[in-house]
Structure 1
Amino acid sequence: MNTAVIINLIIQLVAGAAGGNGLGKMLQQFNLGTAGNTIAGAIGGLAGGSWLAPMITAGAGAVAAGNAGLDLSAIAGSVVGGGVGGAVLTLIVGIVKKMLVGRAP
């Protein structure tokens, strides 16, 4: 694994954690707490970044195969993909948690 790929993964983790915590602050009913938002966001950031970043960088004219470099489009793709992925997974986990808590006796 080269340095650029590792840096993009770290960016996706951090952006995902930020996206998860941001969603938790905005939508209190789906807040998982700081640790829960951070963990769900980081996992979602990796997934979203891996899925969305190549599409974003391909649209910007960069090499989409694994974010080959550390150009601005690859970094932007990792930030956006990670943030969106983190927020989406945190929202999904928050909805499932709310549904399960609502069913408890």
Structure 2
Amino acid sequence: MSILWAIIAGLVIGLLAKLVIPGRQPIPLWLTVVLGIVGGLIGNALAGAFGVADTSGVDWIRHAFQIGAAALLIMLVTPFWSRRGA
């Protein structure tokens, strides 16, 4: 069941990351999910390093780290994916 939650979280994180990046990112949904999952893992590690991984209530800072990491990954991967078809 944890794999299913990772996929769902990756989808949400990846789509939110695509929303904060200006312009269009012509990458497929499966790649958005994968980058969202990886961004979520990187964001969790960053939140742990900064000591904000577990707070009372909603962990907004951890979620911001996750979305930011996924956005950075999407911005790095998109040019390579676009050139792949050329």
Same fold (TM over 0.5): yes
CA displacement, residues 22-53 of structure 1 (integer Å, 9 cap, x when unaligned): 4546532x3212221111122122113312x2
Contact 1:19–1:41, Cα closer than 8 Å, also in 2: yes
2:28 equivalent in structure 1: 33
Contact 1:49–1:80, Cα closer than 8 Å, also in 2: no
Q: Which runs of 5+ in 1 are unaligned?
A: 1-9, 59-63
- TM-score, structure 1 normalization: 0.54
- Picking from 49, 56, 72, the partner of 1:71 is 56
1:45 equivalent in structure 2: 40
Task: Give the AA of the match of 2:84.
Answer: L
CA RMSD after TM alignment: 3.2
Structure with greater helix share of residues? 1
Identity of aligned residues (%): 14
- TM-score, structure 2 normalization: 0.62
Aligned length, in residue pairs: 80
Contact 2:17–2:68, Cα closer than 8 Å, also in 1: no
